[in-house]
Amino acid sequence: MLQLREGRHVRSSGEFSKVYLAIGVAMVSISFASIFIKWSESPPFVIAYYRLGFTCLILLPFLIRYGGLSEIRSFSGRDWMLVLLSGVALSFHFGLWIVSLSLTLVSTSVILVTSHPIFVAAISHFLMKEKVKKIAAAGIVLAFSGVVTISLSDYSEGGSNLVGDLMAFLGGICAGIYFLSGRVARQRVSVLPYAFTVYGLSAAILMCSAAIVGDELLVTEDREIILFLLLAIVPTIFGHTMFNYALKKVPAHIISTSVLGEPVGASILAFLLLPGEVPGILIIAGGCLVVLGLYIVLTGRDKGKYEASETSAESDML
């Protein structure tokens, strides 16, 4: 049996299964984000600030328990640069995307915000020296074609707002940068210290953004607090943090493509939980393409060896 080696893409079949279980949990969890956000009546920057702020508070006891604070103190200058890049990208991702949800349909917003896998795959291949096999590339194209198919449904009904669409697309690009920088950082930094510092930095940026635009930061309504906690626990801890865990184990384009499962999950949840969100035939057909593409990407790789070089990735990224 192959043995797990820290920092390399060689692991046992048990480790392989654990990583992909984490990816599966994350894919389901992030699908709830748009629902909780649509239920909230708070301004977008305030929602994002509380989401990440509560996440940091939840992670703090675990960070202390497992020695994460000492690891944070030992971060190198390069580590802090990557954390800074990830934190800024994540804050822009959340800010742009949450604003877009107030301007356009859930399905359209989620589709566009997850439109970054081709960008991530290209950067991973040329800048980070992560080889994208032909079968994985085919899966990416197939999954993205499903995303486009879903988007055609909303455009045919004339329900999209161009400003909201643009903000969601830009939020997707920021998500791609977040995954790429996280991919490099996670080769040296453990998941809890990395997640805590990135989320904390993003929360601080979003708090300043909310103050600049004049939003009221103090929220006391029980319903809003519960929604913020749900956003922190479900799509952030069980979503983004699970992806951050997997980033050390698999190439960035696999994580980026896995996020394409969100439009399917979010569309189904919106149909069940939000009035007026009924998926048509194009959404169903596109969802099938996304699922098939995800299956090809996530299974079309050598389980014993991942062809990524962390050393070249770190030197080329910075």
Task: Give the SS3 label for residue 280.
Answer: coil
Verdict on whether the full-model pTM lies above 0.85: no
Q: How many CA atoms lie within 13 A of 271 on its CB side?
A: 11
pLDDT band (50, 70, 90) for residue 3: very low
The model's pLDDT over 102-128, given as tens digits with 9 standing for 90+, comes to 887 787 788 778 877 666 766 777 776
Token duo for residue 124: 């991973």
Q: How far is residue 187's CA from residue 200's CA, in Å, rounded to a whole number?
A: 20
Q: Provide, rounded to the nearest whole percent, the portion of the chain with pLDDT above 90.
A: 41
Q: Is a pLDDT exceeding 60 seen at residue 222?
A: yes
Task: Concatenate the DSSP letters of all residues of 93-153 into one string.
Answer: HHHHHHHHHTTS-HHHHHHHHT--HHHHHHHHHHTS-----HHHHHHHHHHHHHHHHHHHH
Q: Which DSSP state fits 237?
A: I
The model's pLDDT over 152-191, given as tens digits with 9 standing for 90+, comes to 765 665 555 667 878 988 998 898 899 889 888 988 899 8
Q: Is a pLDDT exceeding 90 seen at residue 249?
A: no
* Helical ranges in the chain per DSSP H: 13-30, 33-39, 44-65, 68-73, 77-101, 106-113, 117-126, 134-156, 162-185, 191-212, 222-231, 241-247, 252-258, 261-273, 281-299, 310-317
Q: How far is residue 137's CA from residue 263's CA, in Å, rounded to a whole number?
A: 20
Q: If we measure between CA atoms, which residue out of 120, 119, 101 comes closest to residue 110?
A: 101
- The CA-based dihedral angle spanning residues 174, 151, 293, 251, taken in that order and rounded to the nearest 10 degrees: 0
